[in-house]
Amino acid sequence: MSLLIKGATVFDGSGSERREDWDVAVAQGRIAALGPDLPVPPEAEVVDAAGLALMPGIIDSHTHYDAQITWDPCLTPSPELGVTTAVIGNCGFTIAPCREADRGLVMRNLTQVEGMSLEALERGIAWDFESFPEYLDAIERRGIAANVAAFIGHSALRSYVMGADAVERAAAEDEIAAMGAIVREAMQAGAVGFATSTAPQHNGWGGRPMPSRLADDRELEALVGAMAASGRGLFMLTKGDRSDVPYLERLAAKAGRPVMIAALLHNPTNPEGIFRELGQIAEARTRGRELWGQVSCCPLTMDFTLASAYPLEGFAAWAPAMGVTGAELKRALGDPAFRRAVKAELDAPAGVRLFNGEWHKIELTEAAKPENRHLEHRKVSALAEAAGQHPLDWMLDFAISEDLESLFTAVLLNSDEEAVGRVIRDPNASVALSDAGAHLTFFCDAGFGLHLLGHWSRRLGVLSVEAAVRELTAKPAEIFRLPGRGRIAPGCAADLMLFDPERIDRGPKRRVHDLPAGAARLTTEAVGLHGLWVNGTRVVDRDGRMLRGARPGRLLRDFDA
């Protein structure tokens, strides 16, 4: 069936000026024509878009739906938040390749590094694959609501080849060769690129580093080279202190492929750090190296309990509190030596970490005991001062007294709006970092695109709507080499988002229990979204609700060089 969207204000994704009162015609899943007063094709579905705006669907280039996609082809909640294409496998935290014997460890690692429920993963993941090509085939066979491109991930790859040694040592030459062969196989099967992480906060089960963090330069260069041998592909890395921009420029020069560097977030305790890195990226680009800094338009805000204190797990001194639970965890948190070590590390200069001792940015959100409810929504710094304690001691003592069920909220990074405004306007930055599908109990930034449109463009005017739309659509399509995506132009895929330009935004967060085994997640709803089409088929209705039976998404396997 053909489709005609009539009378919209059209933002085509290119960044060029909007077109008022235009029509867009769709046939066979692609844009057939656009312009004023198009004829109505026979038997076409006609959508009256008077007073509304039409743009390409949002491309979310940093998601973690690798596990969820096996039980939830809708990729909840991303399409309801305007996303028509999601890139999975970021940071190298994939679930393929994976042998049957290793599934338990892979799932336990995800519960730690990506804040996922182990029971939800055990109940939910459909393990009908082992190799990466088999994983892609399984996604395609089940069908999906949105388009998906997938990275081959370093940690899964390392575990597959090295077994338990993946978190113990650097790889031997024969192991690097075996990993390289799998990367080449993945690229031939349709991977969008190769992803890894060296970030210190990326720890797996029991506080052990995720496998990719044990890789040396020799291994990393060989695997990026294996990706580049295909003549295409993007290298994505979540950086730590040892993988700085000059090093990544050298990798880009050697491989001749683009490099996406995550996660560049503004840190108020090192306010110029992100701008120095973006400056280094700009300089590299003048030398012909295609580097991009992946940034966020959202403040990094996390809900957490001391039973799973993700904001603090990047500290080396926190290791005794990882991999233990219940009474053993409470003993670790109560140990004076443990507390002294954490305080000393907090006081020391740091490179890359989430929490930097800003206790006035952590509040008690929900007390577990009724008698403590009067303390809710107060800052830990103020509560500790009133009690005459160090903030760390107060928070740990309070959490232990509530059996580690107290819920805290931390505003960690990206909270300085003037600085973030500078970041998202930087031509060397790419706005993303939703982490959709991960950290489900900590935060939900799956609506990052609506936040860019509503907060940064409509309310603050930091970006024009045309620029914001390009940032969310054509720009990531160009970076990730997604042919025919991210534009409203004849011949392009009909991935379309219809919205009210006076209202578009994301709503407040709320907690739901709809994961396998009834596990909880945070979510948010769109404000002012009036429809979403993927490859010409409607997947979100005029009221912003997902049409659960729709599966028009495509597994993207063919990319431009």
Range of the domain at 146: 58-299+414-482+489-540
CA-closest candidate to residue 137, choices 97, 83, 106, 109: 97
Alpha carbon distance 89, 352 (integer Å): 22
Q: Are residues 98 and 221 in the same domain?
A: yes
Residue at 400 is within a domain: yes
Residue 350 has pLDDT above 70, yes or no: no
Q: How far is CA 510 from CA 303, 441, 514, in A?
A: 11, 10, 12
Residue 18 has pLDDT above 80, yes or no: yes
Q: Are residues 333 and 371 in the same domain?
A: yes
Angle at which helix 273-286 crosses helix 417-425, to 10 degrees, equals 10
CA-closest candidate to residue 8, choices 27, 28, 22, 18: 22
CB 73 within 8 A of CB 145: yes
Q: What is the pLDDT of residues 95-118, one digit of tens each?
A: 999 999 999 999 999 998 888 899
* Domain's final residue, options 385, 411, 437: 411
Q: What integer pLDDT is reported at residue 354 of this predicted model?
A: 83
Q: Are residues 388 and 516 in the same domain?
A: no
Q: What is the pLDDT of residues 464-497, one digit of tens each?
A: 999 999 999 999 999 999 999 999 999 999 999 9
Burial 523-538 (b: 16+ CB within 10 A, else e): bbbbbbbbbbbbbbbb
Q: What integer pLDDT is reported at residue 30 of this predicted model?
A: 98
pLDDT band at 352, cuts 50/70/90? low
* Domain's final residue, options 363, 394, 411: 411
Q: Are residues 266 and 125 in the same domain?
A: yes
Please give the tally of structural domains in the chain: 2
pLDDT band at 1, cuts 50/70/90? low
Q: Residue 560: what are its φ and ψ, rounded to 5°? A: -70, 155
CA-closest candidate to residue 438, choices 208, 181, 117: 117
Alpha carbon distance 540, 545 (integer Å): 5
Please give the average per-residue pLDDT across 509-513, as a whole number. 92
Q: What integer pLDDT is reported at residue 336 of this predicted model?
A: 97
Q: Are residues 263 and 179 in the same domain?
A: yes
Q: Are residues 293 and 307 in the same domain?
A: no
Alpha carbon distance 122, 277 (integer Å): 40
Which has more confidence, 19 or 323?
19
Residue 452 is part of a domain; what is its CATH number? 3.20.20.140
Residue at 469 is within a domain: yes
Q: What is the pLDDT of residues 235-265, one digit of tens each?
A: 999 998 789 999 999 999 999 999 999 999 9
The total of other beta-carbon atoms located within 10 Å of residue 334's CB is 13
Q: What integer pLDDT is reported at residue 211 of this predicted model?
A: 97
Q: Are residues 398 and 426 in the same domain?
A: no
Angle at which helix 326-334 crosses helix 391-401, to 10 degrees, equals 150
Q: Are residues 286 and 207 in the same domain?
A: yes
pLDDT band at 440, cuts 50/70/90? confident
Q: What is the pLDDT of residues 57-108, one digit of tens each?
A: 999 999 999 999 999 999 999 999 999 999 999 999 999 999 999 999 999 9
Q: Which amino acid is at 336?
A: P
Which has more confidence, 385 or 301?
385
